[in-house]
Structure 1
Amino acid sequence: MGSLRVIFSNIRYFSITWLFASVNLMVGTWVLYIPHIKERLALNDAQIGIALFCLSLGVLLFIPIVPWFSKHVGLGKTSFFAVILFSAAYILPFFVSSFILLCSALFVVGIFLGITDVTMNALVSVTEKRDVSHFMSAAHGFFSLGGAVGAIIGSLLMPFFTNPMYHMACMALLIIVTNLVLQKYYFKVTEDSHHEEQSSFPFKLLKPLFVVAFLTFVIMGSEGSIEHWSTLYLVEVLEVAKDNQIGLGFILFSTCMTIGRFFGDAVSEKLGSLKIIFWGIFIAVFAFVAILSRQFYISLFGFALLGIGLSVIIPELFRIAGNTKNISSSRGISFVSGLGFLGFLLGPVGLGFISKQFSLWASFLFLLCMVTVALIIAFFKMRKA
């Protein structure tokens, strides 16, 4: 919890971590209304998967240009403008009247989500190196906290909003105003350029990040799938009927992930990145087994356990990427997060098609298989270290 004290005692650190919370406050609110969107537009699971694919496609296509924005516009400036546009764009899906327009709206959301994700992680990496500090995991804790708060408050407020668009608009306004106040503490941050690679695309320098990128692919695919399909899992597999209960899986997942990430920096300093990644995936395997039990309380326990297991993995993978020798933080993180968001892209759409052909339960079984493969790879990576 030492990293939390650092964040709350330094407004500069808090302003950066608030970017993480801002992103998932919007996502945490959005996921509550996926069943509403599905019903209003009369979509099936495969179409929902394609729509989420478009969101991730927007992320994936624009991530490669983030290092250019970071270098020529400024890391802090890019972060600020991206999170503002991201928040405003998330209102668009509630205006649309067709499946095609929904895909287009989510693609626009994905563009600004990808830019925000890379730059806010690069901000942490740059600040950690300059200040010799350690708060990457806690920053991701604020991301999870944002999702949990968005889902909890959203579940409580849903009965009071006759139009979901007004709910999203209120959340967007909150994000925009708070970041307008806090942006002055990170707006002028730039990256050091003296260590940047000379070639335009240094494949040799990126080679050490291939295994890291694959693990990010699997874990982000799992996180994205839980975010976007957990509510439907409770409705279709566990047959939860009450609207204020369909978000319980995501709430428990996000809450436990938040707690795990707030302790993650201290654990990382003691165990090291590779060990904490391995044990996190190990816990995630058992969590998916519990989720697949079809028993309401055991499945909810599985969502909570999954939050704990996955909590520290992505922060550690991004920390490794941001500290790779001879590569800028934004370059390393954009490469790893690019493949990570490819998993985020394929995860939801893959689950949609598996669900249509077999069942949503079978989709979550597929996630268990992928995480098991990641566990084996992490084990051999740890043995070589």
Structure 2
Amino acid sequence: MKSLRLIFSNPRYFAPAWVFASLNIWFGTWAIYIPTIKDKLGIDKADLGIAIFCLSLGVFTIFPIASKIIDKLGVGKATWAGVVLSSIAALFPLLVPNYYLLMISLFFFGASNGLLDISMNTLVTEIEKEDKQNFMSAAHGFFSLGGVIVGIGSFLIPIIGNPALHMGITVAFVFVINLLIYKNYKHIVAAPVQKEPFSLKLFKPLFLLGIIGFVAMGSEGAIIDWSGLYLKEITLAPEALIGSGFLAFSAAMTLGRFLGDGISAKIGSMKIVALGSLIAVFGYLLVLSGHTVLAITGFALNGLGFSVIVPELFRIGGNVKGVDSAQGVSFIAGTGYSGFLLGPVILGFLAESASLKHSFFALLGCILLVLAVTLLLKKSKS
């Protein structure tokens, strides 16, 4: 909890951590109104899927050029630019009068979110380098905390009775806090890195980190989307417990991220990724037992294991020798989000052709792959 105390005691650390929370508050508020938008515009599930794909397209469009924007502006100013752009872009998806404008607004919302995601992770990496303090995992914990804030805010839906007004109040609240504290990071620029010419030796660690990111975030997305159905169809859980897997996963992930920095400082980044992978392996074994209580416990262990993997990947990616920190973070973000978006889809096809239990066996195989790649990276480092 040292990093959590650090964040709450020093605005230099609280300011970037609040940016993490802000991103999930904006995105989560949009997400809870997706069914409302579907009904308002009279579109079917296929049309909605295409619209959401436009959001993903915006994210991936910005990834290749994000590092250049960050280098041009400086990481602090780029983060603030991402905050401003995301604040504006968050307003439009709930205001648009037709389907085509929804697609356009979601594209720009995705692009602004993508820029903010990469810049804020690079920002924390640079502050960690300057201050020799670890708080990346706790900052990701604030991202999870943003989701909790959205959940609490959802109780206001019947009181406000207007999606656009709800989003406007949310954006104003979040932006004002950012406006009061952004001066704590706006001046920060990335430390100059002695870049090396491209080589397979230089690309190998990034490629291996990318594999871990793809699998880890793909598994996260799969559990978020499919845990409820797994409990319902495989463990035959009562209706009251169907959402318990996601709740256990989310709660354990938030806790793990607040504890992760202290553990990382003691044992190192590669060891904590390996430890997280091992915990996730045991989690999947419990999930595959087919017993409701054990499966819910397994989802909690999954959350605890994955909670420390992704923040460490951003930390490691921003510190690869001979690679600019923004480029390293961009690469990890790109591969990770590819997994997050494709993982649930791949799992769905596998569940349709075989069974949902076979899909979770595949996820177990994927986390074993992560463990193997981690050991390979550790060996290469030593």
Deviation at 1:352, TM superposition (A): 5.7
Please state how far the C-alpha of 1:79 moved relative to its aligned partner.
0.6
SS at match of 2:188: coil
What code does the residue aligned with 1:346 have? Answer: L
Is the partner of 1:94 in helix, strand or coil?
Answer: coil
1:309 maps onto 2:308 in alignment: no
Deviation at 1:287, TM superposition (A): 3.2
Query: Match of 2:121?
Result: 121
When the two chains are superposed, the root-mean-square deviation of aligned CA atoms in Å is 3.5
Distance in 2, Cα, partners of 1:382 & 1:211: 11
Q: Which amino acid aligns with 2:6?
A: V
Q: How far apart, in 1, do the equivalents of 2:97 and 2:230 lie?
A: 25
Give the CA deviation at 1:175: 1.8
More displaced stretch, 294-303 vs 9-18: 294-303
Asked if residue 197 in structure 1 is aligned to residue 182 in structure 2, the reply is no
* 3-state SS of 1:197 partner: coil
Q: What is the distance in 1 between the residues matched to 2:353 and 2:43?
A: 18
How far apart are the structure 2 equivalents of 1:80 and 1:294?
47
1:183 aligns with: 182
Distance verdict in 2 for CA 1:209–1:25, change over 3 Å:
same
Report the equivalent of 1:370.
366
Partner of 1:322: 318
Provide the C-alpha distance between the structure 2 equivalents of 1:209 and 1:271, rounded to a whole number of angstroms: 21
Report what 1:270 is aligned to. 266
Name which of structure 1's ranges 233-242 and 340-349 shifts more when overlaid on structure 2: 233-242
- Give the length in aligned residue pairs: 379
TM-aligned CA distance change 1:129 to 1:380, over 3 Å: closer
Q: In the superposition, relative to structure 1, how do residues 290 and 113 fare at CA in structure 2: closer, same or farther (>3 Å)? A: farther
CA distance in 2 between partners of 1:234 and 1:30 (Å)? 27
Percent of residue pairs identical: 46
Deviation at 1:206, TM superposition (A): 3.2
- Given residue 340 of structure 1, which amino acid in structure 2 is its aligned partner? G
TM-superposition CA deviations, 1:309-359 (whole Å, max 9, x none): 111101111111111112221121112222212212322444565577777
Hey, what's the Cα distance between the residues in 2 that align with 1:291 and 1:42?
36
- The one-letter code sitting in structure 2 at the alignment partner of 1:197 is K
1:361 and 1:164 map into 2 onto residues whose CA distance is 38
User: What is the aligned counterpart of 2:217 among 201, 216, 220?
Assistant: 220
Which ranges in structure 1 are unaligned for 5 or more consecutive residues? none
Alignment of 1:225-244 (within 5 A): 225-227=222-224
Distance across 1 between alignment mates of 2:287 and 2:103: 29
Give the 3 Å change call, closer, same or farther, for CA 280–68 of structure 1 in structure 2. same
Is 2:7 the partner of 1:10?
Answer: no
User: What's the secondary structure of 2:93's corresponding residue?
Assistant: helix
Offset of 1:51 from its aligned partner? 4.4
Partner SS, residue 93 of structure 1: coil
Deviates more, 1:305-314 or 1:360-369: 360-369
Cα deviations by residue, 1:159-195 (Å, 9 ceiling, x for unpaired): 43433333333222222111111111111211122x2
Partner in structure 2 of residue 344 of structure 1? 340
- Distance in 2, matches of 1:137 and 1:351, equals 27
Asked if 2 retains the 8 angstrom alpha-carbon contact of 1:145 and 1:255, the reply is no
Larger Rg: 2
Q: In structure 2, what is the Cα distance between the partners aligned to 1:302 and 1:149?
A: 25
Moved more, 106-115 or 344-353: 344-353
In structure 2, what is the Cα distance between the partners aligned to 1:286 and 1:156? 36
In the alignment, is the contact (CA less than 8 A) between 1:53 and 1:346 conserved in 2?
no
- Distance change >3 Å, CA 13–CA 362, structure 1 → 2: same
- Give the Cα–Cα distance (whole angstroms) in 2 for the partners of residues 38 and 236 of structure 1: 27
Cα deviation, 1:85-142, whole Å, max 9, x if unaligned, reads 2233234333456666544433222211111111111111111111121211111111
Distance 1:292 1:22, change over 3 A: farther
In structure 2, the CA distance between the partners of 1:101 and 1:282, relative to structure 1 (3 Å rule), is farther
Cα deviation, residue 36, structure 1 = 4.8
1:137 maps to what in 2?
137
Residues in 2 aligned to 1:168 and 1:364: alpha-carbon distance in whole angstroms:
36
Find the aligned partners of 2:367 and 2:61 in 1 and give their Cα distance. 25
Tell me the CA shift for residue 257 of structure 1. 1.3
